[in-house]
Amino acid sequence: MARLFMKLPSFATDYSGAASFLSDIGGLVAVHGPTGCIGNYTGYDDPRWFSSPGMVFNSALREIDAVMGNDHALIENMRKACEIYNPCFTAIVGTPIPDLIGCDITGAADDLEKVIGIPSVGVPTNGYGYYHNGIEKSMFALEKKFSVLSCPNRGKINILGHSHYDYGDGSAMEILADAIADSHRSIGFGSPADGLAAFTDIGCADANIAVSSSGMKFAEYLENSLNMPFIASAPIGAANTELIKDFIKGNRYEETRESGNILIIGDHVVSDSLRREIFRETGLGSDVATFFGLHDKTAGKRDIVLRDENDLINISKRYEIIVGDPLYSSLAPGNLPFVPFAHPAVSGKMFREHGIGMIGLMERVKEAIRRSGVS
């Protein structure tokens, strides 16, 4: 049965990605759906919730409200919350039940804005997509509402797609910030925590760096609409920092991605960046498998989108080393070296304290290569 998971947990959903992004950027967010949906977000998808909760609330959609199309309670509760928190904008994100009954999330946001007088966006998530879909939909919704304008040549570089779902505590971003500073540039929009003003000024930069799949479509949009070039790279090792510095200097060239006996499972942009660093350090090629979208700009010849656990089980048999979130190890052949690389969108906070993020990743990969004898 396609998309049936027996061993893996549900991955972070699109409405969780949207709620996280919109709340971090300064919005007051309503997750429109039954209480179980907000519980999934606060209890599992967003590991930060218990230490630093954001302005994310639940409409507590009841069966009678769903049947009768009663949006009045949602609007009234949002109005009261705005009086307390005074947000710069509000947002409504969808979940499976509103999607099944045909709820117009964008229309509900328009009605809310008319009542409270505060800008409101509707993000038509439905719980069937993954976190990166929700983040990219949120960026497009904000761009449509607040109109990103072009004012380049300010010496700034934007970072698109940075979230805790791919980067955990965010320490790896310090490496990227140093690379940008070394290139005599400053960061324009770096993450949702920079706020709505920084996002609306996103066109006042010279170029963009997409650090995950979450930022790829918006980076492509800005390239096509505002003529802003972008590169897809995560701050993993010297290969990527050198590539980013070259890009900022204006150097452009086509890459050749070598396939090999190493399989990397994760976000496509992050995994491709690891592939680049592995090749630089060892001369070995790698392939990427992902549940979270594959992009032509970062794709190798044998890269693949995974639909379910069976896809992962079958493809793992072709390789000699597997790199990915520890939860994937139960689906990989037991005799293969498995390099743990925690992906919070998959395992939440389970491995947050285990020290198996980006820092030290290449050392773990090299050790697996040494032990396996792969060449």
* Domain containing residue 214: CATH number: 3.40.50.1980
Per-residue CA distances from 155 to 43, 72, 186 (Å): 40, 47, 6
User: Last residue of some domain: 122, 146, 170?
Assistant: 146
Residue 152 has pLDDT above 70, yes or no: no
Contacts of 120 (CB under 8 A, 6+ apart): 89, 90, 91, 92, 109, 110, 112, 113
| One domain, residues 350 and 305 | yes
- 362 in a domain, yes or no? yes
- 22 in a domain, yes or no? yes
| One domain, residues 335 and 307 | yes
- 255 in a domain, yes or no? no
What's the chain's Rg over C-alpha atoms? 21
Residue 70 has pLDDT above 80, yes or no: no
User: Last residue of some domain: 249, 284, 316?
Assistant: 249
Measured between alpha carbons, how far is 296 from 298 in angstroms, rounded to an integer? Answer: 5
| One domain, residues 273 and 340 | yes
Q: Provide the pLDDT for residue 290.
A: 98
* Number of domains, the chain: 3
- Between helix 173-182 and helix 237-249 the angle, nearest 10°, is 40
Looking at the chain, the whole-number percentage of residues with pLDDT higher than 90 is 70
pTM beyond 0.85: the answer is yes
Beta strands in the chain (DSSP E): 27-32, 56-58, 89-94, 120-123, 156-160, 186-187, 207-210, 230-232, 262-265, 286-290, 304-305, 321-324, 338-340
Question: pLDDT-based confidence at 69, cuts 50/70/90?
Answer: low
| One domain, residues 211 and 237 | yes
- 2 in a domain, yes or no? no
Three-class SS of residue 122?
A: strand
Measured between alpha carbons, how far is 309 from 94 in angstroms, rounded to an integer? Answer: 27
- 257 in a domain, yes or no? no
- 5 in a domain, yes or no? no
- 254 in a domain, yes or no? no
Structure token pair of residue 239: 């290969």
The pLDDT of 221-234, averaged and rounded, is 94
| One domain, residues 32 and 112 | yes
| One domain, residues 242 and 185 | yes
Per-residue CA distances from 298 to 268, 295, 304, 324 (Å): 7, 6, 12, 18
Where is pLDDT greater, at 24 or 169? 24
| One domain, residues 141 and 23 | yes
Measured between alpha carbons, how far is 36 from 311 in angstroms, rounded to an integer? Answer: 29
User: Last residue of some domain: 117, 146, 175?
Assistant: 146
| One domain, residues 20 and 89 | yes
Q: Which helix (H) or strand (E) holds 245?
A: helix 237-249
| One domain, residues 19 and 138 | yes
Q: Provide the pLDDT for residue 149.
A: 73
- 97 in a domain, yes or no? yes
Q: How far is CA 293 from the centre of its chain?
A: 11
Residue 188 has pLDDT above 90, yes or no: yes
| One domain, residues 139 and 24 | yes
Q: How would you classify the pairing of strands 262-265 and 321-324?
A: parallel
Note the pLDDT tens digit of each residue in 1-49: 567 788 999 999 999 999 999 999 999 999 988 877 888 888 888 878 7
Work out whether the CA dihedral 150, 153, 154, 159 comes out positive or negative. Answer: positive
| One domain, residues 70 and 136 | yes
List, edge to edge, every strand of the sheet that includes 89-94: 56-58, 27-32, 89-94, 120-123
Domain that holds residue 220: 156-249
| One domain, residues 72 and 101 | yes
